[in-house]
Amino acid sequence: MSEWFTRNRVIGLALAAFIAVIDQVVKWYVIGPLALRSQPNKKIDLLPFFDLTYTENRGISLGMLQATSMEMRWLLVGLTALIALVVLVWMMREKLLGDIIGLGLILGGAIGNIRDRWDLGYVIDYADFHIGTFRPFLVFNIADAAITIGVVIILARSLLLREKDETDTEEPSVERPVES
């Protein structure tokens, strides 16, 4: 393999592709066979703490930067595509599999959501986790979950590796034999 396509990077690219495809397949299933988009209450109760609830997210994270016009839609497509490109370049520069896995999750999730916004003008969300009436998250999708998990992996690895690196730079105490 060439220098750019090491085993770890190929794994990261394959993970990104897998996340993007699974995200799109589940979204198709939610609006196709389950027909959640056309149901009056747009909800299917699966578990006491998890429902499928169809929503159209016209913003980005936490509903910020709402695309209320065609110009704003394409601006969000461009912005998220630029972020995805930065993540791709970052991933192709990394060598450690742990970092590449996190970046692959982020990239795959970004691609899944970019595809929605490109084709539909909004992102399809459907996963509704709740505890009674308390909802710790907004309605989300597989792409959102992958992005979140990827960010957590990158943050955790950077914090844990930095602490390890700082302890590695300290001089180890070496006992010297006492001369008699």
Burial 49-82 (b: 16+ CB within 10 A, else e): eebbbbbebbebeeeeeebeeeeebeebbeebee
Q: How confident is the model at residue 180 (pLDDT cuts 50, 70, 90)?
A: low
The answer to whether 65 touches 76, Cβ cutoff 8 Å, is yes
Q: Which residues pair with 51 in a beta bridge?
A: 45, 128
CA distance readout (Å), 29 to 2, 8, 78, 161, 165: 38, 31, 27, 40, 46
pLDDT for residue 153: 95
pLDDT value for 65: 61
Q: Which residues are tagged catalytic?
A: 125, 144
Report d(CA 59, CA 106) in Å as an integer: 18
Angle between helices 70-93 and 97-120 (to 10 degrees): 160
Task: Give Cα separations from 87 to 30, 57, 73, 150 (angstroms).
Answer: 28, 22, 21, 11
Q: pTM (2 decimals)?
A: 0.81
Q: State mean pLDDT over 156-164.
A: 77
pLDDT at 71 over 90: no
